[in-house]
Amino acid sequence: MFGKIIIYLASLFWLLSFLFYLFLEKSNKESLRKYANITFWGGVVSILLASLYLLFNILSHNFTLTYVWSYSSRNLPFFLLLSSFYAGQEGSLLLWATWMSLVGVLLYFYIKQNNLSTLSLSFFAFSVFFLTLILIFKTPFADLWESFPDGNIPKDFVPQDGRGLNPILENYWIAIHPPILFLGYSFLAIPFVLSLAGIFQRNFEGYSRAITFWALIGAGVLGLGIMLGGFWAYETLGWGGFWGWDPVENSSLVPWIFVVVLVHTLLLHKTKGGFIRTNFIFAWLAFLGVLYATYLTRSGVLSDTSVHSFVDPGKVVNVLLLIFLGVFILFPIVVFLLRFKSFEGEKQNIIIASRQFFTLLGIVILIVSSVVILVGTSLPITQNFIGAKKVALEPSFYNQWMLPLAILILLFNGISLYFNWKGTDLKLIIKSASLDLIISVVVSILFLFLSNYSIAYTILFFASFFTLLVNLRKLVKKLAKKNFRIGAFVSHLGIVFLIVGAMLSGGFERTQTIHLTEGKKSSAFGYVFELLRKEQIEQEKPDREKYRFYVRMSSNNSNSIVRPIVYWSSFNNFEQPYFEPDIKTFLSKDVYIAPKSLIFNDFFTPVTMKKGDAVEAPWSKGDSIYFLSYDMSSMHLGSTQNNFMFGLALRYNIDGKIYYDTVYSVLNMKMNSFSPVWKLVPTKDFAIGFTKFQPAENLEQSTVELSFGQEMLIADVTVKPFIILVWIGVILTVIGFIVAVNKYKRIKNVSQ
């Protein structure tokens, strides 16, 4: 109850704060300021309280709350318990609202310090208000009996334990990636509300430095958040790469591109004036991009076409998300139209041989790429809308587009640096430019041979190398003069590395399959792989059975151990294993070992028996297997309604010793499928599986088949050349943003 009330309260506070700040602006009644500030802080405090309350419920295992029951359990370690806060839709919305509140506090003090109008706080409060509105309908504070009205759940019912976190999320990355991503999303609200205020007050000039400051922070944090997600997918999820053009990835990339465009249009404004409407539009689009991403990933419209799992949040929330989106499309348009004439730009004379011109070209390419990604990602919605036949886009669609766009953007960046902002005589640059060009052409010809005559990649390599040279030279020159305004060069170098790394690791990767089983060797790419042993890890946790495979990977000049992981979890009742890859990193490449499948290849002939039968063990004449009885006691443990655990109680006589064990198979009533849960035969290194059930009139006459197999881990070995450049590139890009932010810490000459 408390949680819900506090959300209602937060919603009310943010609404009032929005109205107070707005009327304060309109009427200039200073008395309103007090109320506006109080309601603003009221909104912040109540959102923080709601978060703390949810956290308290998670940490105290209050499983009467549907949310807590759905995403956490008693055995989760502390940091995962914290992370289960945002493992579901409701909690991640609350996390977003929490970040918005905290970011709002930063904005509040920033505005005070720099004497900006509080009008932007009004718009800010308006956006948080919408978030709280969704939280009212999609609340993390619903009780179980409310969530399942048909389940006949008593009001005071407390489940023993929660369902727990999906085991593939049980990794420290879940504590890092989502919060940074949502923080980035939250930061993007600030350039938007500041530029709204600037336009509204016909004083964009006064806001532009402030907008730049927050746009740079937003671009840095969001960029970092996105790439950490990529690294997570690569390093532990075993998705093979760091980027797959998945709708979820795309929809977070689009707002990032928009905010990067904003950073550049602000720069154009700074150097030559003008571009005010353009700036406003991109500050708006960046924020709108965040809302659109939220809509795409939370409305369930993409559930068929993404690797991320989505749950349809229900009609009310869907409509609410659409209203949210609609309001923030219409409202800025109204403000824009009201003020359109005030910012009629003076005629701009753009000289072609200027940095401004080439920056403009670069911006156009960024916009083109964002439109390509948007159209591709929105395809399922458009198809739905016009009732067209459902098609799915392959990643090749994006790759085809991005290759030429990347070439252009690199060249424009490189060329732009030869010129001054307002134009440079071409004669002055010919000498340095021709030197750069000659070096780049020579190196690219070398690349052409090495890359097996791939023309397209060679052109991309040429553009990258050329831009690298120009940026490096600029960077060195600046540093030599003890000028540390180098953010742009560092970021652009980062982008060069990122693009080259993506091209080399993606375009030149090769995959082969290896089979790992004890006593046999398997080879790929000149490496010999040999399974040495496996070790059970995390044995103290009863909800999992986790093995680390030790695989020797040797070649002529290297010898190392890789350790992929295979585990079963109670999350799906140990029915199918989960995998984690391992990566052997070299300077020039990564060797990526991703388990794909764990099978049991036939070892001995299967045996067929009835209840009460005893048969000779196929591995040794002296040993025997006795089928004692059926075990139905675990029937209900299946992971879904239609799955049942069907067991056979066995007695082994091995080397004169008696062992008892039960082997299970998962029976799916709906599909009538039967999949054995393989178990090692006592003292042996092969496993037994309950592979078939032949029903008769009664159980006594029914027959079962027991198979014997040796475990075989099938893994894909992928060589990814120079993927390290991707990570270096991301780090440089982010550092560049941080360096650049420094320049805008204080804003000067704000005329109020």
Chain positions contacting other proteins, by CB under 8 A? 66, 69-70, 144, 147-148, 150-153, 157, 159, 163, 166, 309, 311, 368, 371-372, 375-376, 379, 389-397, 400-401, 513, 515, 571-572, 575-577, 579, 596-599, 601, 636, 639-643, 666, 668, 670-673, 675, 712, 714, 716
Measured from the CB of residue 510, what is the shortest distance to other proteins in angstroms?
14
Measured from the CB of residue 370, what is the shortest distance to other proteins in angstroms?
12
Cβ proximity to other proteins, 342 vs 601, nearer residue: 601
Closest-CA residue to 43 (of 117, 116, 127): 127
**Which residues, at least 6 apart from 87, have a Cβ–Cβ distance to it below 8 Å?**
71, 72, 165, 166, 169, 174
Closest-CA residue to 197 (of 124, 267, 97): 124
Using the Cα atoms of residue 87, residue 91, residue 95 and residue 100 in order, give the sign of their dihedral. Answer: positive
What does the H/E/C string look like for 68-80? HHHHCCCCCCHHH
Measured from the CB of residue 712, what is the shortest distance to other proteins in angstroms?
7
Beta carbons of 367 and 289 less than 8 angstroms apart? no
Region of 656 (left: φ > 0; alpha: ψ -120 to 50; beta: rest) is left
Measured from the CB of residue 392, what is the shortest distance to other proteins in angstroms?
5
Measured from the CB of residue 30, what is the shortest distance to other proteins in angstroms?
43
Gap between the Cα atoms of 679 and 690, Å rounded: 9
CA max distance for the chain: 98
Measured from the CB of residue 669, what is the shortest distance to other proteins in angstroms?
12
Measured from the CB of residue 115, what is the shortest distance to other proteins in angstroms?
37
Cβ proximity to other proteins, 471 vs 665, nearer residue: 665
Q: For 461, phi and psi rounded to 5 degrees? A: -65, -40
> Which long-range contacts link 686-695 to residues 24+ away (Cβ below 8 Å)?
686/603, 686/604, 686/619, 686/710, 686/711, 687/600, 687/711, 688/650, 688/663, 689/600, 689/663, 689/665, 690/646, 690/647, 690/648, 690/663, 690/664, 690/665, 691/606, 691/665, 693/646, 693/665, 693/667
Cβ proximity to other proteins, 70 vs 464, nearer residue: 70
Measured from the CB of residue 118, what is the shortest distance to other proteins in angstroms?
35
Beta-carbon neighbour count of residue 670 at 10 Å? Answer: 9
Cβ proximity to other proteins, 207 vs 258, nearer residue: 258
Cβ proximity to other proteins, 523 vs 572, nearer residue: 572
Element (H, E) at 612: none
Cβ proximity to other proteins, 487 vs 676, nearer residue: 676
Cβ proximity to other proteins, 45 vs 714, nearer residue: 714
Beta carbons of 410 and 466 less than 8 angstroms apart? yes
Cβ proximity to other proteins, 175 vs 391, nearer residue: 391
Q: For 234, phi and psi rounded to 5 degrees? A: -75, -45
Measured from the CB of residue 515, what is the shortest distance to other proteins in angstroms?
5
Beta carbons of 215 and 743 less than 8 angstroms apart? no
3-state secondary structure of 338: helix
Cβ proximity to other proteins, 160 vs 557, nearer residue: 160
Measured from the CB of residue 265, what is the shortest distance to other proteins in angstroms?
15
